[in-house]
Structure 1
């Protein structure tokens, strides 16, 4: 298997009119893997039933949700870490800052070493 890519032409960021345009590779996604697909793959490597695996995945999702909304970093060993971050406006002083300046929160993901290393061995093929 390989990661398929296509080429796109982009201008230079921050330059009026784009400046000199150059060609860059972008990933051409090859479909997606659903929970059903993951459950089928996990079944091959374990003695757990489909319903057990699905139950663990759903429970993990619920626990991650609970921990993130409580401001926790979730470390999943070789899988990586999930952690919350904020986007906010600014105030002239600390005293003038209030919660209404917080525009939103999002979840960040930092892959573990094993997952990061997996992409270092990837093979790339130009999409047709």
Structure 2
């Protein structure tokens, strides 16, 4: 199986009028897997029932939400890690900083080695 891509033409950033346009590869998403699909795939490799697998996935989601909201890093061994990060406005003096300076929080994901390696050996095919 290969990762499919399309070609798109983009202008050079920061140049008035766009400068010289070049062609770049852009991934062509080839569908998505929902929880039902994941459960069916996991059932093939497990002795657990569909209900058990679904329960574990939902429980994992709940635990990850709670722990990220408490500022924890969630390490899922070979799957990778989830961790929170902040963006904030800068202030001149430390004492001037308040939580109002925090503009947002997001979740970052860092894949484990096996997942990263799976993509490093991927093949590519232009979508027809």
Structure-2 separation of matches of 1:85 and 1:67 = 13
- What runs of 5+ residues in structure 1 fail to find an aligned partner? none
Does 1:100 pair with 2:100?
yes
Number of aligned residue pairs:
128
TM-score of the superposition, structure 1-length normalised? 0.97
Quote how far apart the aligned CAs of 1:15 are.
2.0
TM-score of the superposition, structure 2-length normalised? 0.97
Quote how far apart the aligned CAs of 1:113 are.
0.3
Q: Equivalent residue for 2:16?
A: 16
SS in 1 for 2:96: coil
**1:62-111 CA distances to partner (integer Å, 9 max, x unpaired)?**
00001100000000011000000011111111111111011110000000
Q: Equivalent residue for 1:122?
A: 122
Structure-1 separation of matches of 2:83 and 2:17 = 37
Superposed CA RMSD: 0.8
Quote how far apart the aligned CAs of 1:16 are.
2.1
Structure-2 separation of matches of 1:74 and 1:15 = 42
Q: Equivalent residue for 1:76?
A: 76
Structure-2 separation of matches of 1:91 and 1:111 = 34
- What runs of 5+ residues in structure 2 fail to find an aligned partner? none
